[in-house]
Amino acid sequence: MRSLSLIAAAAVLAACGGQPSEAQTPPAAGTSLETRPANTNYQPAFPGQTRAPLKSAGIAFDTVTVAEGLQRPWGLAFLADGRMLVTEKGGTLRIVGKDGKLSDPVGGVPAVDAKGQGGLLDVVVGPDGLIYWSFAEPRADGNGTAVARGKLDGNALTDVKVIWRMTPTYNGDKHYGSRLAFSKDGFLFITTGERSDMAGRMQAQKLDAAFGKVIRILPDGAVPKDNPFTSVAGALPTIWSYGHRNIQSAAIHPKTGELWTVEHGPRGGDELNVARRGKDYGWPTINYGNEYSGGPIGEGLTQKAGMEQPLYYWDPVIAPSGMAFYEADLFPAWKGSVFIGGMKDKDLVRLTLEGEKVVGEERLLKDLGQRIRDVRVGPDGAVYVLTDGGSLIKLVPKA
């Protein structure tokens, strides 16, 4: 990561909702993949921070529909026996069989607040074999992101326990964050949003609120002793990093073991970051986007001492969803890539990396015409995507 000590950043377009995108002529190889106009006149802080060149891996693949009929699916996880778990935003968890058949709703899932961007959200299988999921938890005076865990027994969850709750409670329906990722050493990372409204936005910089943060806990919800703010008076000891807007992409780097994230920008400025211990990622003090109404965010700053620069940002936005690093053998040419779901332009974003530098970008699956909500690499090496249209699809080598 680079600290904020350079110039300013570049432009962007569109909201995190995913409006129809303009028709684009494919760029020539080696030129910037993004050719549409920017939303701002900000300049990137360093070369290559935005608008990477088109870099195709030249992979021929087929798309295979694994399952259909899902209702607003959000998160995907693989069970040890090859079956899959899929969350549906309205509050149901389904098991997808190897034959693609959907189970009845899994029992034992707590009630969710499914208004707006809330609902039953991410799901992962922990190293202990338990199921962990995030959801918008309804509360007497509002709601908040929460994480629960339980044991899958047949078609029900047992011994269900909420292990973490976002504080303070907030009466809103946006920016829950909610991606979950287990580190190689067994810690659970939870991403949150800053709830979008101005009152919540300002708490992304405050250490006494879980808004706009990366949270790090033990699998039972306990606080790791080496978290960065455990000895800071008034700070939440669960905070790992702060100054985020709404992180809906998160994955552990297979080689470094660090947590990489992508967060939604406003009208421009979706950010790729490495979420590091105790670091401030700047929102809303610095960013590379504008208000949806068109004006600058705050003072219109893109850098400030003590705040981190994104590794990369998008202009216009991609509206990020799931995220997965590819290290499998099924597609050798994709090794070292990172895949990110794109809701704005309804495509799958593939980044080519050299260390922490983005050196190429490619857009796949545009012909699906569906917003991609989650991306995972299966045990078979195929790339699996969940679509808002209710399909679970996998990418396999062309027959």
Catalytic positions = 175
Q: Count of residues for the chain?
A: 399
Write the Ramachandran bin of 195: left for phi over 0, alpha for psi from -120 to 50, otherwise beta: left
Residue bearing tokens 């303009």 = 22
CA distances from 70 to 245, 354, 371, 385, 389 (A): 28, 37, 14, 13, 8
What is the bridge-based pairing of β-strands 312-314 and 320-325?
unpaired
Give the number of other CB atoms < 10 A from CB of residue 341.
28
Strands (E), 310-397: 312-314, 320-325, 338-342, 347-354, 357-364, 372-377, 383-387, 392-397
- State the sign of the Cα–Cα–Cα–Cα dihedral 196, 40, 38, 45: negative
Amino acid symbol at 346: K
**By C-alpha distance, which of 62, 63, 34 is closest to 50?**
34
Give the strand order in the sheet containing 73-78.
73-78, 84-88, 92-96
CA distances from 273 to 280, 281, 312, 374 (A): 11, 8, 7, 18
Strands (E), 32-187: 61-67, 73-78, 84-88, 92-96, 120-125, 131-139, 142-153, 156-165, 180-182
Paired strand residues for 132: 124, 149
Determine the 3-state secondary structure of 202 from DSSP.
helix
